[in-house]
Amino acid sequence: MPAKLKKWLGYALIAFVIFYLLTQPATVGNLVLNVFAGLGGAANSLSTFVNTILL
């Protein structure tokens, strides 16, 4: 893929994300909360696994 096309596709993606953030803030907020809740659950599960192995 030519470098110019890749650069413009990157700009278009950033513009789309900004547009989505501005038009759907509640949806984006819920998405962020769900992502962090999932990461927290994964970290908790990993911690439990490691503690079970070590003890």
For the chain, the domains span: 24-55
Tokens of 32: 């962020």
- pLDDT per residue as tens digits for the range 20-47: 999 999 999 999 999 999 999 999 999 9
The answer to whether the beta carbons of residues 21 and 28 sit under 8 Å apart is yes
3-state SS of 29-54?
Answer: HHHHHHHHHHHHHHHHHHHHHHHHHH
Tokens of 9: 């596709």
Q: What is the pLDDT of residue 2?
A: 85
> Which residue is listed with tokens 């809740």?
37
CA 8 – CA 25 distance, rounded (Å): 25
Report the predicted TM-score, pTM, of the whole model to 2 decimal places: 0.61
